[in-house]
Amino acid sequence: MLSGRLAPGRASLGWGAVRRIANRAAGLLTLASDPRYVAHVLPGRAFSLTARSTTASIREWDPSIKTIIDVGANIGQFAVAAGYEFPRAEIHSYEPVPDAYERLVANTRHLASIHPVRVAVGKTNETREMFINDNTQVSSMLRIAASNTNPGYRRRVRTTMPVDVRTLDSILSEQSFARPLLLKLDVQGYEPDVLRGAAHVIDQVDWLMCEMPFAGLYDGQMTFDDLHALLHDLGFRVAVALRLGFGSRRSPIEADFLYRRLG
């Protein structure tokens, strides 16, 4: 077992740093082993080993996915990986944070199948304040809980800013999509609101990927049991856990789950 310590007289290396170094090395090995993926990713800067492994796992369940609704796109990590695994799919990516959206556009402009839109997705059409974190991946409509001491969440909240929020039903009204359709949600505690604003779109969703917490990482956040029950009521059943996210005490704090529609 790794102890996280260097030789005597050197600074200690924490478990989180060891894991980041290992992940980066694994990412470089992945790139080196797949020249086609290198060509796909390198025009932008959105490589993510997690997104690559996640989308590859989804492809094993259904390689025929033709439409992907990517809610909470950040800088395009998932969209770029999905574009590689599902080259015939149309990908609609939604991201409200200005800095992240600009990078999303830059990272995907060489991929004609990815369509970025700067907007937040929620349960009503409105303008509301969003908490913008230095780590844009944890920016949210919800405030980070004071009890959440996990390092990835503890960077400074830079500001709050008003963002346009629209429902999926209003964004995609009167549209039909090639199926199978995958809905990916990674909106830092705002997943129930996205689902409540997608009463009509949800009927077209065949697969749903959702980041789900095991403890409240944000104030008022719905945790796994209640979110799982909500998806169950909407007609989805869990297919597989795709990724575990670990906290500062080396225990899992969240996971990405893939759900499939019954029938």
Reported as a single tens digit per residue, the pLDDT across 44-98 is 666 778 898 899 999 999 999 999 999 999 999 999 999 999 999 999 999 999 9
- Reported as type and span, the H/E element at residue 165 is strand 157-166
- How far is residue 263's CA from residue 236's CA, in Å, rounded to a whole number? 10
Query: Cβ(258)–Cβ(61) under 8 Å?
Result: yes
3-state secondary structure of 136: helix
Mean pLDDT, range 107-114, rounded to an integer: 93
139-175: b (≥16 Cβ within 10 Å) or e: bbbbebbeebebebbeeebeeeeebebbbbbebbeee
Q: What is the pLDDT of residues 32-54, one digit of tens each?
A: 567 666 666 666 666 778 898 89
Pick the CATH number of 40-127+165-261 from 2.40.170.20, 3.40.50.11740, 3.30.2310.20, 3.40.50.150: 3.40.50.150
DSSP-derived pairing of the beta strands 126-133 and 157-166: antiparallel
pLDDT band at 2, cuts 50/70/90? very low
From the list 220, 196, 208, 217, the residue with the least C-alpha distance to 138 is: 217
Q: What is the pLDDT of residue 29?
A: 62
Residue 58: other Cβ atoms inside 10 A: 25
Q: What is the pLDDT of residue 8?
A: 42
- List residues bridging with 130 in a β-sheet: 161
Instruction: Tell me the average pLDDT of the chain.
Output: 86
**Burial, 243: exposed, middle or buried (Cβ in 10 Å; 0-12, 13-18, 19+)?**
middle
Is the preceding omega at residue 96 within 30 degrees of 0, hence cis? no
Work out the percent of the chain whose per-residue pLDDT is above 90: 64
The domain segmentation of the chain, as residue ranges, is 1-33, 40-127+165-261
Q: What is the pLDDT of residue 249?
A: 72
Q: What is the pLDDT of residue 5?
A: 34
Q: What is the pLDDT of residue 48?
A: 79
First to last CA, the chain: 45
Dig out the tokens for 55 from the structure.
């989308």
Q: What is the pLDDT of residue 1?
A: 34
DSSP label at residue 90: E
- How far is residue 255's CA from residue 210's CA, in Å, rounded to a whole number? 8
Global confidence as pTM = 0.85
Query: Does the pLDDT value for residue 9 go beyond 60?
Result: no
Residue 86: other Cβ atoms inside 10 A: 23
Question: Higher confidence at residue 154 or residue 67?
Answer: 67
Of the listed ranges 47-51, 142-146, 186-190, the least confidently predicted one is 47-51
- How far is residue 245's CA from residue 128's CA, in Å, rounded to a whole number? 29
